[in-house]
Amino acid sequence: MQQIPGAWQRTARGAGLLAPDGSAIPTIFAEMSALAASTGALNLGQGFPDEDGPEAVLDAAREAIAAGINQYAPGRGFPDLLAAVAEHQKRFYGIDLDPGREVLVTVGATEALAATLLALIDGPDDEVVVFEPYYDSYAACIALSGAKLVPVPLRWPDFQPDLEQLASAVTDRTRVILVNDPHNPTGSVFSSEARDEIVRLAHRHDAIIVTDEVYEHLVFDGPHVPIATHPDAADRTLTISSAGKTFSLTGWKTGWVSGPAELVSAVMAVKQFLTYVGGSPFQPAAAVGLRLPDTFFASVASEMAAKARLLGTGLRAAGFDVSSPGGSYFTVVNAAPLGATDADAFCRELPARAGVVGIPLTAFVTPAHRDRYATLVRFAACKRVEVLANAAERLAGMAR
């Protein structure tokens, strides 16, 4: 068998990971992390922290293992974590949830997204509107579901959508409007006008809003505003989040989806046949994290903002044009002032030039729109302060 048929091909093609000869190629994260390892460069490409999360949360996981919480969790998740998610949504956003019917624990936000799209997409005539550039798993999951991805470009340097383009993209064929706020890879936070228009269009065209809010506690200027708090959005919005980004525990892969009971049950119908359940001892630990005091959540936002400023200083000193992020782990720069014409080639050369690894934004866009982002690069600020200071010094050295 020279070529293996199957849904993997459209999944890989959707994510831009199918070579001309039909073989699968690695993700940009795997490539650039390997490049960092082989060159000794500082890896500001992949968005994972290099510090562990709160000791109380780590201790809770250890205690759960010691107490024998090592077998399958209930299908929807342990009741205490379901309750903690509901408490969290009420505490921070005033959202009332029935923890037994309107919350579902998943294996990270990635599984929540995959199960949601597979549950809600009904066939190849369905469309999913996404904001471009987009996290690469969006394109892969949409392709796997068989739906059509409809991109709405975000514009340098503030990375807000053009509302007329958004209105043109959403039609009666739109099944899902997929929103990532705060946004990966750009670090932008959507304006209230953009949120209002998303809700208006979803009502007009009877679409479901799916929000990826994993960076909800990493917003730098004011509190995060979930779309589900919009008075006209609660009955058609599924909200996805996880413990990974807030608590610097990305390897735990513990996430959740919440929203109207009938939508959550639809996701559950698919999710139970993907992974069934996730890691049991991490669930009571995530519940501990969600109940940490307000001072913890304020500190993670302020610390990440300070790291973004430190990284931004080094990037500006290096000669990049720098977009100021409103949240998340990420800062996007324009490398054109340094002579770049192709972000992918620039990033492959950067370890030798500066000893730092970044990710080309062209890895997160449809082929037809690559020119819009041809010289833009994403860097991750979710590293130790001393690593970021070293990276800033290395980058600034390019200008000397």
Concatenated DSSP letters for 250-285? Answer: GGG--EEEES-HHHHHHHHHHHTTTTSS--TTHHHH
Order of strands, sheet of 160-161, starting from the edge strand that comes earlier in the sequence: 103-106, 255-258, 237-242, 208-212, 174-180, 127-132, 148-155, 160-161
pLDDT score at 46:
86
What confidence tens digit (pLDDT) does each residue in 155-167 have?
999 999 999 999 9
Classify residue 195 by burial, with Cβ atoms within 10 Å: 0-12, 13-18, 19+.
buried
Across the range 131-138, mean pLDDT stands at: 96
Q: Is the pLDDT of residue 258 over 90?
A: yes
Measured between alpha carbons, how far apart are the two ends of the chain, in Å? 55
Across the range 225-243, mean pLDDT stands at: 97
Name the residue with tokens 């980058």. Answer: 395
Across the range 97-117, mean pLDDT stands at: 98
Name the residue with tokens 């849904």. Answer: 7
CA-CA distance, 178 to 138, in Å (whole number)?
Answer: 9
Q: Is the pLDDT of residue 307 over 80?
A: yes
pLDDT score at 398:
79
Secondary structure class of 137 (helix, strand, coil): helix
What residue spans of 121-259 are helical by DSSP H?
136-145, 163-169, 192-205
DSSP secondary structure letter of residue 105: E
Whole-number Cα distances in Å, 112 to 14, 53, 95, 268, 269: 19, 22, 19, 9, 12
Across the range 251-270, mean pLDDT stands at: 98
CA-CA distance, 332 to 361, in Å (whole number)?
Answer: 8
What confidence tens digit (pLDDT) does each residue in 80-93 have?
999 999 999 999 99
Residue 292's φ and ψ, nearest 5 degrees, are: -65, 160
Contact 34, 371 (CB under 8 A): no
pLDDT score at 109:
98
pLDDT score at 1:
47
Q: Is the pLDDT of residue 180 over 60?
A: yes
The pTM of the full predicted model, rounded to 2 decimals, is 0.96
CA-CA distance, 63 to 288, in Å (whole number)?
Answer: 12
**342-375 per-residue burial string, b: 16 or more CB within 10 A, e: under 16:** ebbebbeebbeebbbbbbbbbbbbbeeebebbbb
What confidence tens digit (pLDDT) does each residue in 196-219 have?
999 999 999 999 999 999 999 999
Across the range 244-251, mean pLDDT stands at: 97
Q: Closest Cα partner for 97 from 215, 238, 289?
A: 238
Output the average pLDDT for the chain: 96
